[in-house]
Amino acid sequence: MIWNEKMECADRDTMRSVQLEKLKKTVKHAYDNVSHYRNKMDEAGVKPEDIKSLDDITKLPFITKEDIAANYPTGLFAEPMKDIVRIHASSGTTGKPKIVGYTRNDLDLWGECVARGMTMAGASQESVVHVSYGYGLFTGGMGAHLGAETIGATVIPMSSGNTQKQITFLQDMKSDILCCTPSYALTIAEGVKKVGIKPEELNLSAGIFGAEPWTQSMRDKIEEGLGIRAYDIYGLSEIMGPGVSMSCEENAGMHVQEDYFYVEIIDPDTLEVLPDGEKGELVITTLGKEGMPMIRYRTRDICYLMRDKCACGRTTVRMSRVFGRTDDMLIIRGVNVFPSQVETVIAEFKELTMNYKLYVGRENNTDTFELAVELAEGLAIEDIAFVEALRGRIEHALRDMLGIGCKVKLLNEGTLPRSEGKAVRVEDTRNLG
């Protein structure tokens, strides 16, 4: 089923003309109502009338997380507070949260986007949607909730935590769609196994997972442990929340709701727009959001775009999974590596603690890459074979996640230096100057 066939399967010309109309409106709306946009555009010597084609978007300045912080709390709102009906927030870079405001229309738009995504996972009016994302300022819970309500499904607003209760509801309410973070899905899957319920005894058919990077092995474990198909959902609160894009049954990248979000990939250093298929930083322009329009927002998320037609029939552009963030990206042997990806792998192993450090160096003109990680307290280690097997499994999972090899060194708990503030996770001794 396709929720909105007209838009999701539109031909390129139709989509581009819809996008252009909405882009013109968005730029004018932002210019007229938000001093930040007006000042930046004036500085760049560009007026709303200069946007005559979609390609003209490159004339517009970017907006960044720092700009959001500088306009804290509501400086980027384009509507008066009387028309803002909802606030969400996410943690900001400077310690202050990023505050986002939604008008009534923005919530409808959000619901429409999530409804399209949930339909990809098979949701319908008959579905019981179990939402285990956190409810509150975080957009996960209420975003998924809104999508399920838009479809007309039965929503169970569980929020996260209390795994035992989650399992009881999954069982007794015969939920067929689960929405949560992949790591929490894994916890639920383990809980289900622990209490001796077989996956087929649950009525679940699909899971909609997002908000953190995850590995193929995690996906396999979740799919097997809960007897479901796993779908990726992408979003960020600055732009809207979950539902900006979502993977369909083909699992071939996430379909971007292009009539609401114009996406570009740029080289984070040169800021040049990159062609489809090339990895770079995702830049999003909202098309139609009123409360807080975002024009050329630098997400810092690294991915690439695919524009060939998907076998599911949808014609919307697809984005790859997010490989990490530009902030903490390391380039090792030519491959982009993110500590967050390593963290995801470590979290999969009960035998490890989250205390780790990455060492990058150079020997004989080749980058060396090593992960030192502490063993969980009280882990029973009797022989070398056990340690070697564990190390082998970690190295395999790292290669699966990163695409390059990483040597693993296991340490006793408490061996790595503890820091008072933000942990120093990477030591790069390459002299690349």
Tokens for 321, please give them.
């999974």
Contacts of 168 (CB under 8 A, 6+ apart): none
Cβ-based nearer residue to other proteins, 249 or 413: 413
Q: Tell whether residue 352 is a contact of other proteins (CB under 8 A).
A: no
Smallest separation (angstroms) from other proteins to the CB of 321:
32
The closest alpha carbon to 174, from 119, 225, 124, 130, belongs to 130
Smallest separation (angstroms) from other proteins to the CB of 218:
25
Tokens for 153, please give them.
């499904």
Smallest separation (angstroms) from other proteins to the CB of 370:
10
Smallest separation (angstroms) from other proteins to the CB of 391:
9
Is residue 172 within 8 Å of residue 179, measured between CB atoms?
no
Among 44, 415, 427, 430, binds other proteins (CB under 8 A): 415
Q: Tell whether residue 383 is a contact of other proteins (CB under 8 A).
A: yes
Q: Tell whether residue 172 is a contact of other proteins (CB under 8 A).
A: no
Q: Tell whether residue 382 is a contact of other proteins (CB under 8 A).
A: yes
Smallest separation (angstroms) from other proteins to the CB of 416:
11
Q: Tell whether residue 392 is a contact of other proteins (CB under 8 A).
A: no
Burial of 108 (0-12, 13-18, 19+ CB in 10 A): middle
Cβ-based nearer residue to other proteins, 54 or 379: 379
Q: Tell whether residue 414 is a contact of other proteins (CB under 8 A).
A: yes
Is residue 315 within 8 Å of residue 325, measured between CB atoms?
no
From the list 71-79, 134-142, 309-317, 374-382, the region that binds other proteins by CB under 8 A is: 374-382
Q: Tell whether residue 377 is a contact of other proteins (CB under 8 A).
A: yes
From the list 75-83, 251-259, 355-363, 382-390, the region that binds other proteins by CB under 8 A is: 382-390
The closest alpha carbon to 100, from 111, 85, 115, belongs to 85
Contacts of 429 (CB under 8 A, 6+ apart): 359, 360, 361, 362
* CA angle 242–243–247, rounded 5-degree value: 115
Q: What number of other Cβ atoms are within 10 A of residue 199's Cβ?
A: 15
H or E stretch at 43: helix 35-44
Adjacency order of strands within the sheet including 318-319: 154-157, 128-131, 177-180, 206-210, 229-236, 241-247, 254-256, 318-319, 305-306
Q: Tell whether residue 432 is a contact of other proteins (CB under 8 A).
A: no
Q: Tell whether residue 350 is a contact of other proteins (CB under 8 A).
A: no
Among 311, 381, 389, 424, binds other proteins (CB under 8 A): 381
From the list 19-27, 129-137, 278-286, 380-388, the region that binds other proteins by CB under 8 A is: 380-388
Q: Tell whether residue 380 is a contact of other proteins (CB under 8 A).
A: yes
Cβ-based nearer residue to other proteins, 107 or 398: 398
Contacts of 5 (CB under 8 A, 6+ apart): none
Cβ-based nearer residue to other proteins, 84 or 408: 408
Q: Tell whether residue 346 is a contact of other proteins (CB under 8 A).
A: no
Cβ-based nearer residue to other proteins, 21 or 388: 388
Does residue 40 sit in helix, strand or coil?
A: helix
**CA of 418: how far to CAs of 193, 334, 343, 374, 425, in Å?**
35, 30, 17, 12, 11
Count of residues interacting with other proteins (CB under 8 A): 18
Query: Which spans of this chain sit near other proteins (rule: CB under 8 A)?
Result: 375, 377-384, 387-388, 409-415
